[in-house]
Structure 1
Amino acid sequence: MVAPSDVKSPAFMISALAITQTAGYGVLYYAFSVFIPPMSRDLHASVAQLTGAIALAVLVSGVVAPVVGRWLDRHGGRALMTVGSALGAAAVLAWSQVRSVAQLYLVCGVLGAASAMVLYEAAFAVIVAWFDAARRARALLAVTVVAGFASSIFLPLTGFLVDRFGWRQALVILAAGYALTAVPLHALAVRGRSAPPHADRAEIVGAALRERPFWLLAVAFLAQTGAVAVMGVLLVTYLITLGHPPVFAAGVAGLLGVLSVTGRLVTTGLQARWRVALITAVMFGLQGLAAVLLPVVGRSLPGAVAAVVLFGLGFGVATIARPALVADRYGTTAYASLSGALTLPITVAKAIAPLVAAGIAQFAGYPAVMGAVAAACALGALSLVAYDRSRSAACRR
């Protein structure tokens, strides 16, 4: 039994968000890949058609993000995240009843809107609004470390449910579980705090959009997100192309989720000594180096593992670095609106980059894809270095 005083505590809110983010990413995003084979048979659809549905969900979440951000700044997160989790559960339940690809796409559109209301961007806006700079990094880390295991938990769990009950019944179970977990936790634990009513958020956002540093952040995270999306989708296929068994390829690729947690821990620990932008730039640079090395050393087992580990250390760093950098430079009054403005192009990159990379792989080979990934990581690192210099120059004036 949770006491009223516990419900109001920041620790309870962080614990609740860690749980809802894990369940949200597991049910609303990662589980989709497990359902592709049985849906392909039952709906008589190709893998490409089904993959397009989750890509649509990602794009819709990006399009909705600016609107969600403005709401969060004005009203806080409690009502939005509670309604969003109910909507997400309803979408998963509706998914269990689809009979055509067109219906699946419609459901995934709703799923994308719900995701924008309940996943990281919304949770981070709540954290940024409630915690000062000294405690914010630890709060973000606590949520993302737990949620970083969403794929490790929900991929095998979903596989078991599909094998035991069939894919439609598995979706019903996931929908019920998510509703019973996320709806009450968001309603009870998320605080309703918002920015002062007199704050001119539109002016803050407009001023940021006119500044070079904002666009340096946008370029940095757009480029690195595209690179990470490509590796997340194509790494297993490339490792198999290099001659590794499928089981080994999948196992090594699975390290990315665990390593993303390691990278977040390292990044947060280093923030006491170095600036966030420079730490993140180094991590992006290491990812670029890993992409260059993979075609060279990836045919051997140790080489493949070493390259994936190097890339994986930066896999989740952007997740905690972006809110820290935005809040540090622009404050918390219009944080969610600015985050939403950044999320739209970044999400588009996340959805489109793997499709572009697949085309490059078909016509120029996977080494060319790795070269493009390395270039994107380098661009992200250089953009963050330029951002940090502009920040330092502004502080000296």
Structure 2
Amino acid sequence: MIARRVVVALGLAQLISWGATYYLIGGFGEQIAADLGWSRDIVYGGFAAALLVMGVTSPLAGRWVDSRGGREVMVAGAVINALGCAGLAVSHQIAVYFASWIVLGLGMRLTLYDAAFAALARIGGPEARRAMSGITLLGGLAATVFWPLGHMLSEQFGWRIAVLAYASFALLTIPLHLLIPNERFAGVQGSVSVAPKPPLAVGRERLAAAGGLYAVIMTGANFLNAGMSAHMIAVLSGLGLTVTVAVWIATLRGIGQSAARLCEVLFGRRIDPLALNLAACLIMPLSFIAGLFSGSSNAMAIAFALLYGGCNGILTITRGTLPLILFDHRSYGTLVGRLVVPSFILPAAAPLLYAVVIDRFGDASALYLSTGLAVMTLVAAAMLKLLFGRAP
């Protein structure tokens, strides 16, 4: 059983880490472009470079957590995040800007959900599902907290001081990460022990099928998350909302994420992770369809933010819990570290691709693109449920 203080500390660290790194470009991207006179391709290309670094370093990070534990890895990641934010704050040349994002890419891989989930799987084994859901409750509020916070800081002091403040926030996660224990799960203790269920993907063919479909689902979800994290505010304002209204409606995404995750914590033990994953993938295209009507209806814009936040929040949980039932938990960090490589490398193109699509075809085109990608993810989730809905 993972201690509650560890779950709370790691959840708070996730809130800060996501807000100060991954959601940074969504809050400051347009200001950086306007201040430095750079094109959107350059500004959002830096974030794309960070996602690419996350993919390249993913297998190494997974093995590091498996061998040394999450505490050492995530403390190092917090320091690296702070260095990356500080580099962005003093950037005046494109080379320095991109170098800072490359540093942030490594820091994000060592501190965000994939590292945290691997750390929890190392501590709790198959029993880590509830803890994984728990840390996402706070982590899901990152955009809700940091987008308005960054907006207020940048209006008062400029975007550079705001990003420098983010560097200090990243350092605040170090004492939280130090609470992560280093021991490894050794099985259920007590006189009456219950053997853990065998993984569903047994055998080379089933392992390949499960791994491939899992990679497709997570790549699709990450691609959409990267695109929306970078451009959601800009898309909403481009469809007709004022910037201030767009910021506040976009923050509802975090409310939707945490509300869905709270429901999973309360009732998720009764729901098969495969069915939960399929339900989230079913809601996702509906959220983007609602988003197409955001310019003419604030209610539809709110529905878009809440629904997308909700399904993205559930997919974040199933990202961690599906491998617990599909694969052997003892190699969680190493195996998942390899499987999520495409979910970092391909989404690295999302911020840049969305910027090009918006510039050439308009803001609504970003939502049409998102709907198509969401349908692709839904098909993969349906196939995973069909093939592995029952134990072999």
Q: TM-score normalised to the size of structure 2?
A: 0.84
C-alpha separation in 1, matches of 2:333 and 2:173:
21
Contact preservation (8 Å) 1:220, 1:380: yes
Q: Indicate whether 1:184 and 2:175 are aligned.
A: yes
Deviates more, 1:246-255 or 1:123-132: 246-255
C-alpha separation in 2, matches of 1:326 and 1:20:
23
User: SS at 1:260's partner residue?
Assistant: helix
Distance 1:205 1:185, change over 3 A: farther
| Equivalent position amino acid for 2:90 in 1 | Q
* 1:193 corresponds to which of 167, 183, 188: 183
| Partner residue, 2:63 | 70
Q: Following TM superposition, by how much is the alpha carbon of 1:104 offset from its aligned partner in structure 2, in angstroms?
A: 1.5
1:322-362 residue CA offsets vs partner (Å, 9 max, x unmatched):
11001111122111112212222112333323433444455
Contact preservation (8 Å) 1:73, 1:195: no
Q: Following TM superposition, by how much is the alpha carbon of 1:387 offset from its aligned partner in structure 2, in angstroms?
A: 1.3
Contact preservation (8 Å) 1:80, 1:117: yes
Contact preservation (8 Å) 1:234, 1:354: yes
User: SS at 2:312's partner residue?
Assistant: coil
User: SS at 1:313's partner residue?
Assistant: helix
| Partner residue, 1:310 | 307
Deviates more, 1:83-92 or 1:290-299: 290-299
Contact preservation (8 Å) 2:257, 2:306: no
Matches for 1:141-180 after TM superposition, within 5 Å: 141-179=133-171
Deviates more, 1:33-42 or 1:125-134: 33-42
C-alpha separation in 2, matches of 1:151 and 1:51:
18
| Equivalent position amino acid for 1:272 in 2 | R
C-alpha separation in 2, matches of 1:151 and 1:306:
17
* 1:120 corresponds to which of 113, 117, 124: 113
Q: Following TM superposition, by how much is the alpha carbon of 1:369 offset from its aligned partner in structure 2, in angstroms?
A: 4.2
Distance 1:209 1:107, change over 3 A: farther
C-alpha separation in 1, matches of 2:363 and 2:157:
38
* 2:325 corresponds to which of 312, 325, 328: 328
Q: Following TM superposition, by how much is the alpha carbon of 1:288 offset from its aligned partner in structure 2, in angstroms?
A: 1.1
Unaligned runs of 5+ in 1: 1-7, 197-203
Contact preservation (8 Å) 1:15, 1:143: yes
Identity percentage of aligned residues: 25
Q: TM-score normalised to the size of structure 1?
A: 0.83
| Partner residue, 1:256 | 253
Matches for 1:200-279 after TM superposition, within 5 Å: 207=204, 211-279=208-276
C-alpha separation in 2, matches of 1:254 and 1:209:
40
Deviates more, 1:341-350 or 1:317-326: 341-350
| Partner residue, 1:140 | 132
User: SS at 2:182's partner residue?
Assistant: coil
| Equivalent position amino acid for 1:311 in 2 | Y
C-alpha separation in 2, matches of 1:98 and 1:297:
35
Alignment RMSD (CA, Å): 3.1
Unaligned runs of 5+ in 2: 187-200
1:22-48 residue CA offsets vs partner (Å, 9 max, x unmatched):
221122232344444664466453343
Distance 1:88 1:244, change over 3 A: closer
Contact preservation (8 Å) 2:281, 2:381: no
| Partner residue, 1:382 | 379
| Partner residue, 2:11 | 18
